Amino acid sequence: MQHRLRFTFRIILLPFAAGVAFGQTQALPSHAAGPPAGQPAPPASLRAIFGSPFASRLAAADTTTVSINPGGVVPVYSANTTIQSGSWISIYGKNLAPALVTWTGNFPQSLGGTSVTINGKLGYLEFVSPGQINLQAPDDPGSSGTVPVVVTTPTGSATSTVTLGQFGPSFSLLDATHVAAIILRSDGSGANGGGTYDIIGPTGSSLGYPTKAAKAGDSIVIFGVGFGPTNPTVPAGQGFAGAAPAANPVRLMIDGTSLTPGFAGLSAAGLFQFNLTLPAGLGTGDVPLVGIVGGVQTPSGVVLSLQ
C-alpha cells in the first residue's frame, strides 16, 4: 500500500534576484486560496503525484498492542534518524491507529482516535493507519538531541525516541528514486497546469503518467522537507502561502556539480522548494541528486532525469 502527502498547487509570481519562484499552498478546508486570475488550476492527479509514496509497512492487525518499529521515526522520504521540528515526518509500526484516516487539510492534533507527541508537544496529523502515520512535527526550536515520541490510540500507546536537530533534509519523491520536480513552461507547452509545467522524470510514461527529462536552460523547481529554519519563521500547524527563504545556504549537487538555487525556502507548510536554471554539462539519464544544508546531506539514491 502506498500513501502520498496531498498538496494543492498554484502558481505564485514571486520576484527574486534570480527570477520567478513557483509556489505551492497547503490545502485548507474552507478558505483555500485559489489560483491567481487567469491561471488554471493543476489537475487533481498532480496533487497526489507531489508527495512521495511511502513504503507503507502495514502489519496485519492481529493484536491491539501498539508498537513503533526500531528506527521507525524518520523524515518523510527518508531513513535518516534525525528530524527537524516543524517538518513532515513518518512513524512506522503496528496498530498505530484503528483504521486508515486522512485529514481534510485542517492540521488536526488527533485523527481517527490517534495522537502523537514529540518531546511532549502534540504533532499535526495528515494521515494515520495501523502501520504508518504522517504528521508535521510541532515547533520546538529550543530542543535538540534525543527526545521521546509517544503514539496514543484508543487501545493503548507506544513510546520511542528520535534525534531532534536543526536540519533533517530529504527530497520529495515520485517513486523510490525519482525526485519530485517540475520544469516551468512560460510558452504554455507543458503537459500540466494548463501548459505551465511538465513533471520531471524519464521522458514518456514509465512512472504511470507523462514525465519529461529536463535539459540545459530549463527553469526547474525541486521539492523537499527538513532544510532548516527560515527567515521569516513559519509556524507549524497552520497553512502557509508565500515564500520564506532558508536561513542557511543550501547547495544542490547534480551529478557531482555544485549549484546554488535561485530560491531555497518554504512555499507551503513544512514544504521546501528550490528554483534553479540548469546549466550545460550535467550529464544525461537519471543522475544523482544531493542537497546539503548546515553540513547535513540528503539521503543517497535520489535521481533527477536529464536529457
Strands (DSSP E) found in 22-100 = 24-25, 67-75, 82-84, 88-94
Residue 130 belongs to what domain range?
A: 67-165
Q: How many domains does the chain have?
A: 2
User: In whole numbers, what is the pLDDT of the chain averaged over residues?
Assistant: 83
pLDDT mean over 94-101: 96
> How far apart, in whole angstroms, are the C-alpha atoms of residue 75 and residue 62?
28
CATH number at residue 143: 2.70.50.70
Asked, for residue 142, whether it belongs to a domain, the answer is yes
Identity of the residue numbered 40: P
* 57 assigned to some structural domain: no
Is the predicted pLDDT of residue 64 greater than 70, yes or no?
A: yes
Q: Residue 20 has which C-alpha cell?
A: 520567478
**pLDDT class of 79 with cuts at 50, 70, 90:** confident
**DSSP 3-state of 195:** helix
Q: Is residue 62 assigned to a domain?
A: no
Contact 173, 299 (CB under 8 A): no
Q: Which of 165, 184, 205 delimits the end of a domain?
A: 165
Residue 1 placed within a domain: no
- pLDDT for 198 beyond 60: yes
CA gap 13, 11 in Å, rounded:
7
Q: How far apart are CA 156 and CA 147, in angstroms?
A: 20
237-293 pLDDT, tens per residue? 999 988 999 999 999 999 999 999 999 999 999 999 999 999 999 999 999 999 999
Indicate whether 198 and 97 sit together in one domain.
Answer: no
Return all residues near 284 (Cβ < 8 A) that are at least 6 apart.
Answer: 213, 306, 307
List, in order, residues 6 or more apart from 80 with CB less than 8 Å away: 74, 168, 170, 299
Q: Does 257 lie in the same domain as 145?
A: no
Note whether residue 58 is domain-resident: no
Q: What is the residue type of 109?
A: Q
The angle at the Cα of 126, spanning 123 to 132, to the nearest 5 degrees, equals 90
226 and 92 share one domain: no
The residue-averaged pLDDT of 281-306 equals 96
pLDDT above 80 (res 52): no
What pLDDT was estimated at residue 81? 82
The C-alpha atoms of residue 174 and residue 49 are separated, in whole angstroms, by 6
Q: Other CB atoms closer than 10 Å to residue 291's CB: what's the count?
A: 25
Residues 243 and 286 in one domain: yes
Using the 3D structure, point to which of 112, 132, 165 is the last residue of a domain.
165
In terms of domains, do 154 and 37 share one? no
Clarify whether residues 102 and 222 are in a common domain: no
pLDDT at 20 > cutoff 50: no
Same domain, 155 and 267: no
Query: In the listed set 165, 188, 207, which residue is the last one of a domain according to the structure?
Result: 165
Q: Does residue 3 form part of some domain? A: no
pLDDT of 241: 86
158 occurs within a structural domain: yes
Rounded CA separation 284/75 (Å)? 29
Per-residue pLDDT reduced to its tens digit, 145-195: 999 999 999 999 999 999 999 999 999 889 989 999 999 999 999 999 999
On whether both 161 and 176 belong to a single domain, the answer is: no
- Cα separation of 205 and 179, whole Å? 15
Regarding whether 228 and 158 lie in a shared domain, the answer is no
Mean pLDDT of all residues in 117-129 = 97
Q: For residue 200, what are the β-bridge partners?
A: 212
Checking if the pLDDT of 227 tops 80, the result is yes
> Are both 104 and 34 inside the same structural domain?
no
| Within-domain flag for 291 | yes
**Interatomic CA distance for residues 299 and 138, integer angstroms:** 23
Residue 98 has a pLDDT of 95
Residues 157 and 76 in one domain: yes
Residues 180 and 255 in one domain: yes
pLDDT band, residue 66 (cuts 50/70/90): very high
pTM exceeds cut of 0.85: no
Question: For residue 38, is pLDDT > 70?
Answer: no
pLDDT of residue 31 exceeding 70? no
